[in-house]
C-alpha cells in the first residue's frame, strides 16, 4: 500500500496568496494525510481547507488555538481514508483513520511545540497517554520543540534534563525515531547569527514499522516558513503522465496573447470548415508546446531550480553562519519562488 503523511509548521496561513503557495507545495508532495500547525486561523471552515488541499471532498479535524498559538489542522483525502474518531490534547491532535483500500486502521498524531519547560514535561506525559491509548499502527509527527542530542542543535541553550526525558519516553514506548533525509536541521531562526535545530521529526510504533516499512523522513526546503516541511512515505509512487492542456499561467506571460493570435492566423491548407478548424487547432497546439518548452519553460522546472538554490544556502547555513549577501540572495530566491508557485497554482 502506498501512502504518506505530511507535517509542517507553516507560521500563519491567513493570507490568501500564502495559502495558494502552500497549496502548490502540498500538491507536489502528494500526501495522503496532511497536518499543519500554527495556521493562525481563528476558526476553520471547508473553504479554508479547500484553499490549501485543492479538494472540496477532503475530510478534516482541527484543534483551535489558545492565546493565538497551538492550533492544529489535519486533513485527508476521503478517497483513501475515512475517519473513525479523533482526540484533542493540550499539545496534539490525534485521529484514527480507516483505509478504504485495506482493512487496516492507523492512528496519526500531529503535535505542536510547547514553549515553557514545565509545558514540555506535560507534553511528554500527554504523548505517553497517546501511546497507551492507541493499539493500532501509530505515527506521531510535527514540531516537538525538543531535541535528542547535542547534534540536533547548533546555537542557543540546551536542557540536558529534557533531552534525557525525551529519549526515555521514546525508548520506554518502543518508538522508532525515523532518520531524516535532505537536511541536518529542520528549523532556522534566520539572520546572520542563526540557531539551527532538528525539532521536527516523525516517531512510529513497532506495528506501524512492521506493517508499512516506512523510509526515511524527507525534509524539504524552508521556503514558506522557518520550519522544514517533513514527509513520511511508505510504498512506491508511480509517475503519472500528464496530458496536454491549456495552462492559465501562460496568460501571465507578457506577449502571449499577441503571439497566440499570430499562431492562430497562420495559413492552414485544406477544404471544409471543420477540417480547417481541426488542423488549425492541432497546428496551434504544436506551436504552443514548442513555445512552452523553449521560451516559457515548465513552471515545475523553475521551481526545482529555485528550491535547489535555496537548499544549497540552507545547507551552507547548517555548516556555518551565512553572510548578509547570502541571506539577501536567499530572500530574493524565495520571492521568485513565491511568484512561480502562484503561477503554477492557477494552472489547470
The per-residue b/e assignment along 81-117, b for 16 or more CB within 10 angstroms, e otherwise, is beeeebbebebbbbbbbeeeeeeebbbbbbbbbbeee
Q: Measured between alpha carbons, how far is 154 from 194 in angstroms, rounded to an integer?
A: 9
Grid coordinates of 57: 471532498
CB 117 within 8 A of CB 155: no
Q: What is the mean pLDDT of each run of 10 residues along the chain (348 residues)?
A: 89 91 88 93 90 86 80 91 92 92 82 88 95 94 93 81 94 93 90 86 92 89 91 66 62 77 71 63 76 63 80 83 84 81 59
- 324-345 helix and 299-319 helix, angle to the nearest 10 degrees: 150
- 273-291 helix and 256-264 helix, angle to the nearest 10 degrees: 140
CB 228 within 8 A of CB 200: yes
Distances (CA, A) of 30 to 195, 203, 248, 252, 300: 31, 21, 22, 26, 15
At 213 the pLDDT is 85
Distances (CA, A) of 100 to 78, 122, 307: 8, 35, 34
At 300 the pLDDT is 63
Q: Return the closest-CA partner of residue 182 out of 154, 224, 218.
A: 218
Q: Which domains does the chain have, with CATH numbers?
A: 3-234 (3.60.10.10), 248-296 (no CATH)
3-class DSSP state of 145: coil
At 296 the pLDDT is 57
Amino acid at each position: 500500500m502506498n501512502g504518506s503523511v505530511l507535517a509542517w509548521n507553516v507560521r500563519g496561513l491567513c493570507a490568501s496568496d500564502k495559502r495558494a503557495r502552500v497549496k502548490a507545495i502540498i500538491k507536489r508532495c502528494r500526501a495522503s494525510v496532511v497536518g499543519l500547525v500554527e495556521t493562525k486561523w481563528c476558526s476553520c471552515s471547508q473553504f479554508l481547507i479547500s484553499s490549501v488541499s485543492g479538494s472540496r471532498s477532503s475530510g478534516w479535524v482541527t484543534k483551535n488555538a489558545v492565546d493565538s498559538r497551538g492550533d492544529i489542522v489535519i486533513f485527508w483525502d476521503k478517497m483513501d481514508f475515512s475517519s473513525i474518531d479523533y482526540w484533542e490534547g493540550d499539545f496534539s491532535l490525534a485521529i484514527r483513520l480507516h483505509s478504504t483500500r485495506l482493512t487496516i486502521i492507523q492512528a496519526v498524531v500531529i503535535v505542536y511545540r510547547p514553549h515553557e519547560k514545565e509545558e514540555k514535561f506535560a507534553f511528554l506525559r500527554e504523548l505517553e497517554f497517546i501511546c497507551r491509548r492507541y493499539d493500532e499502527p501509530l505515527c506521531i509527527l510535527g514540531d516537538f520543540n525538543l531535541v535528542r542530542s547535542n547534534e540536533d542543535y547548533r546555537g542557543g541553550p540546551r536542557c540536558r534534563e529534557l533531552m534525557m526525558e525525551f529519549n526515555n519516553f521514546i525508548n520506554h514506548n518502543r518508538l522508532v525515531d525515523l532518520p531524516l533525509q535532505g537536511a541536518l536541521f529542520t528549523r532556522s531562526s534566520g539572520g546572520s547569527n542563526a540557531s539551527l535545530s532538528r525539532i521536527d521529526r516523525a516517531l512510529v510504533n513497532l506495528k506501524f514499522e512492521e506493517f508499512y516499512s516506512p523510509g526515511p523522513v524527507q525534509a524539504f526546503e524552508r521556503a514558506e516558513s522557518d520550519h522544514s516541511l517533513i514527509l513520511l512515505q511508505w510504498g512506491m509512487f508511480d509517475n503519472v503522465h500528464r496530458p496536454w492542456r491549456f495552462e492559465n499561467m501562460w496568460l501571465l506571460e507578457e506577449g502571449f496573447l499577441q503571439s497566440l493570435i499570430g499562431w492562430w492566423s497562420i495559413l492552414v491548407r485544406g477544404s471544409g470548415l471543420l477540417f480547417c478548424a481541426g488542423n488549425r487547432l492541432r497546428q496551434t497546439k504544436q506551436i504552443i508546446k514548442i513555445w512552452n518548452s523553449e521560451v516559457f519553460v515548465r513552471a515545475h522546472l523553475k521551481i526545482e531550480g529555485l528550491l535547489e538554490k535555496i537548499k544549497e544556502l540552507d545547507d551552507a547555513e547548517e555548516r556555518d553562519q551565512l553572510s548578509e549577501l547570502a541571506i539577501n540572495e536567499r530572500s530574493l530566491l524565495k520571492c521568485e519562488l513565491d511568484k512561480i508557485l502562484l503561477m503554477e497554482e492557477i494552472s489547470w
